[in-house]
Amino acid sequence: MRIADKFAELDKKKERALIAYVCAGDPSTEATKDIVHALVKGGADIIELGLPFSDPVADGPTIQAAATRALAAGMNPDLYFEMAASIKENVPLVCMTYYNLIYKRGTEKFARDCASSGITGIIVPDLPAEESDELHDACKRNGVDLIFLITPVTTESRMKNTLARTSGFVYIVSRLGVTGERVDVADSTKKILERIHTDVPKAVGFGISNKEQAAEVIKAGADAVIVGSAFVSIIASGKDVNEKIEKLASELKESCKE
Amino acid sequence: MKKSMYGKFGGQFVPEVLMPALTELEEAYKRYKDDPEFLAELDYYMKDFAGRETPLYFAKNLSKKYGIKIYLKREDLVHGGAHKLNNTLGQALLAKYMGKERIIAETGAGQHGTATAMAAANMGFKSEVYMGAKDVVRQHMNVYRMELMGCKVHAVESGSKTLKDAINEALRDWVTNVENTHYLIGSVVGPHPYPMIVRDFQSVIGKEVKEQIMEKEGRYPDSIVACAGGGSNAMGIFHPFIEDKEVKLFPVEAGGKELKTTEKEALHSASLCVGEEGILQGAHTLILQDKYGQILESSSVSAGLDYSGVGPELAHLADIGRIIPCNVSDDEALEAFYELSLLEGIIPALESSHAVAYVMKMAKTGELGDLVVINLSGRGDKDLETVFKLKEEGETTKGKEDCL
């Protein structure tokens, strides 16, 4: 499913989107499939499926540990696409990974593999717009959205170029730092949303872990909230994972409905 | 070609949040690099604090044994015991001009961390250094040195617990504290403009060699040999000679145990010799990786060369044939460590021992010519424990073999 179609569908229902991140293969391929099912059942609208990299510089300790577990359990790009193809949920799947895995596979092949396995968006946290010509073209040819990040320190001129390149949604980092759970998101979110002018849906992530924060972000004007580390922490705990994931997803989703 | 590229290598593959900081750094560097006040202050630090210029020493005993003229550029005599201070003084001063309050750095062997702590203490910065937990153990004297100078040392427990992971962690810190913090990278690696800035501050080595060798020999050397992990001492001595095509330039990488790769790790650190193109820590360069692009852990007897990538400009110079990448094994480097100590009364760092070893190995082949300069990038005091441990292990193994 394309990301734009999902946002259009939600628009009709006057809902905002819940985007959930999990790391593929943490702790196993089978477990990830069940977790994705639980997320969707709970109300997640878009699934970000992390493809683990050995050196994830933009991630905090929670997601780093997830990547380490997934790699140790044998996750690799071949298995990743196989797994993605076997997920039959009616939501867009987005691949989040680091650029070397894409470069090594070849940008064209990577984008093609995404398209043929049902992945309709790619997020690459170490690929700023300036370096993205090759992947951008490959994504365009294969009908895959390339999603860029905007941060509070992104300058006006770079913001313009980056927004012009992003499709699907724009990933807004509301505050400085790596991924992970934090407190107090309202002010920083409001401030950055005021600066961003685009027709592409605005999704806010980094540091959102509970329904109160999600509600604040939506109230501040976001079209979507992205939650990662909070789900990954549940997976790491290893106890009643699917139940807890579904419950958290449904709580967060409630905050996305007016 | 984009301004951030070195041929097809280089670039700025970093999280979005760091892009403004890289632009700010590049602009500040452009503004101050020719500024008389900045240069005068840097010159003062280089001379009175670091102890430059360093001698170009004619190694008479080594030369006699190998039948060619061998000079050693004595970077081991720089304050702190290695060339690293050239770069940290330059960058710390730049950070001061930029109004930053805090400096962070990564370190492998601890030499760059120490040099960062020195510059930071002297110029009044708060400093924090990230160091792989494995390196903290094998180079603990350097940890004490850093702490004495008020620097906070973080042992990094993620990944392979070496230099690559220390850089990851420093990048994560920078992403979080980018507004008041300067990330003082210690080698010619990472996103542009770092490879350029570090190269320029280290180029003082090659500039001095140019004048010194003309004075002593009336001509440029046939070859310059320098060890290369990330490659800062190599770029520093090579850069002023790039246009002098008759001078052969040899970066010597760590061949480790052997030039082989298992599924999870490389038994060496020879990215220029056998690495493949990829993206690591902000730059498109040559790296050690598996078939999927996961970064392989590297290996070397010398912590300072133990890195899975190499500076993008070195990758470019190798690509166009201007430098000749080569490598020596752990054992060959150790042999050179002993030999230089015995013959010249100079104990080299295990890193620099790789360069010495290559000259010992190749002198007789004629490939290096008659006049060679080795960049003796650091002194070996920090390595004594490692070397003695290896010696004991070697004797134990040998004893066992004798019994069989």
**What pLDDT shows up at residue B387?**
94
What's the gap in Å between the CA of B256 and the closest CA on chain A?
A: 22
A125 contact residues in B (CB cutoff 8 A): 15-16
**Interchain contact, A177 vs B292, CB within 8 Å:** no
Cis peptide before A27 (omega within 30 of 0): yes
Q: Which of B17, B177, B263 to mutate to test the interface with A (most CBs of A within 10 A)?
A: B17
Express each pLDDT in B132-170 by its tens digit. 998 898 888 899 999 999 999 999 998 778 888 899 899
**Interchain contact, A178 vs B11, CB within 8 Å:** no
| A173 lies within 8 A of chain B by CB | yes
DSSP structure class, residue B132: E
Interstrand relation of B102-107 and B181-183 (parallel, antiparallel or unpaired): parallel
Asked about B63 being catalytic, the answer comes back as no
Distance CA A174, CA B173 (A): 17
Give me the residues of B, 140-169, that contact A with CB < 8 A: 158-159, 164-165, 168
Average pLDDT over chain B, rounded to an integer: 94
| A150 lies within 8 A of chain B by CB | yes
Kindly report the pTM of this predicted structure: 0.95
Q: Which residues contact B48 (CB under 8 A, 6 or more apart)?
A: none
Q: Is A229 within a domain?
A: yes
Domain limits for position A203: 3-252
**What pLDDT shows up at residue B160?**
79
Interstrand relation of A119-123 and A93-96 (parallel, antiparallel or unpaired): parallel
Closest C-alpha among A147, A151, A150, A148 to residue A168: A147
Residue A119 corresponds to which tokens in the numbers above? Answer: 């992945």
Residue A183 corresponds to which tokens in the numbers above? Answer: 């407190």
Chain B residue with CA closest to A179: the answer is B172
Express each pLDDT in B15-62 by its tens digit. 998 999 999 999 999 999 999 999 999 999 999 999 999 999 999 999
A153 contact residues in B (CB cutoff 8 A): 17, 20-21, 178-179
Q: Is A149 within a domain?
A: yes
Give me the residues of A, 211-250, that contact B with CB < 8 A: none
CB B120 within 8 A of CB B126: yes
Least confident of A25-34, A77-86, B156-165, B356-365: B156-165
Distance CA B82, CA B70 (A): 20
**What pLDDT shows up at residue B311?**
98
Express each pLDDT in A134-143 by its tens digit. 999 999 999 9
Distance CA B313, CA B324 (A): 13
Query: Which CATH number does the domain housing residue A153 bear?
Result: 3.20.20.70
Compute the count of residue pairs across chains A and B with CB atoms less than 8 Å apart.
113
Q: Is A257 within a domain?
A: no
Gyration radius (Cα) of chain B, Å: 20
Average pLDDT over chain A, rounded to an integer: 94
**Given pLDDT bands bounded at 50, 70 and 90, which one contains residue B263?**
confident
Asked about A48 being catalytic, the answer comes back as yes
**Interchain contact, B293 vs A153, CB within 8 Å:** no
Q: Is A145 within a domain?
A: yes
Distance CA B45, CA B356 (A): 29
Asked about B253 being catalytic, the answer comes back as no
Q: Is A258 within a domain?
A: no
Question: Starting at the edge strand that comes first in sequence, how are the strands of the sheet with B181-183 ordered?
Answer: B152-156, B126-132, B102-107, B181-183
User: Looking at the 3D structure of chain A, how many domains does it have?
Assistant: 1
Q: Is A87 within a domain?
A: yes
Q: Is A221 within a domain?
A: yes
Distance CA A200, CA A197 (A): 9
